[in-house]
Amino acid sequence: MNRSSNTWWGIVLIVVGALLFLDNYYDLDFGDLIRTWWPLLLVIWGAGIVLRHSSESRPQETTSTAGPSSSGSPPGPTSPEQIVQSSIFGDTVVRVSSQSFKGGTVSTVFGNTTLDLSSAGLGDGEHVLKASGVFGDTTITLPHDMAFSATVNTLFGDVKVIDQEKEGFGSTITFQVPEYAGAAKKLRIQTSQVFGDIVVRR
């Protein structure tokens, strides 16, 4: 079992132990609490999967700290060309100015995610940027001339990609600029959120 899974199960044990302790001294119906809050265990389990996926997909050789900056979480192994960032508590802000950006992965459990690529350029070929979150909003800002496609979905929230918008439960948008298919440099964005809004804009 990896470190992030141990952390989450540790939190679960602390919460359950605290509830059992309070149930001994106060007039609490622990059964009702479990019936009401058991879906939170699914959220915690899913968060652990997101974090494990992020850590497994991390490039092993990217150790430069000259790349994007973050706020609310310690910097992960990053390079000027690729981002790998994860945060459990706190907002994540990543700004990229590299002219040979090659995508990466960003995951946030409790907090907003802001990815500012407005000053970035792409390396040759197709690159993938994955962003995922549990509680919070995700905003991605792109240059006006970047060839990109985007698949965005949120379980509880709204999504907007350029001029397309969807609201309500299980909102999903698949978007592609007209020049994407023939572009020599292009970015494929995949972002998902459980609770929160997603915006991809120029």
125 burial via Cβ count (<10 Å: 0-12, 13-18, 19+): exposed
Structure tokens at 72: 């609310």
Are 162 and 201 in contact by the 8 Å Cβ rule? The answer is yes
Residue type, 192: S
The confidence band for 195, taking pLDDT boundaries of 50, 70 and 90, is: confident
How far is 39 from 184, CA to CA, in rounded Å?
45
Percentage of the chain beyond pLDDT 90 is 44
Residue 159 has pLDDT above 50, yes or no: yes
> What residues have CB less than 8 Å from 85, skipping those under 6 apart?
68, 70, 73, 75, 76, 78, 92, 94, 104, 105, 106, 107
50-86 residue pLDDT tens: 655 555 444 333 322 333 334 444 444 444 689 998 8
How far is 196 from 171, CA to CA, in rounded Å?
11
> What residues have CB less than 8 Å from 174, skipping those under 6 apart?
149, 150, 151
In this predicted structure, what is the pLDDT of residue 81?
86
Q: List % helix, strand, coil for the chain (3-state, nearest 5).
A: 25, 40, 40
Are 67 and 83 in contact by the 8 Å Cβ rule? The answer is yes
Residue spans of the domains in the chain: they are: 3-53, 63-201
How far is 136 from 174, CA to CA, in rounded Å?
21
Measured between alpha carbons, how far apart are the two ends of the chain, in Å? 41
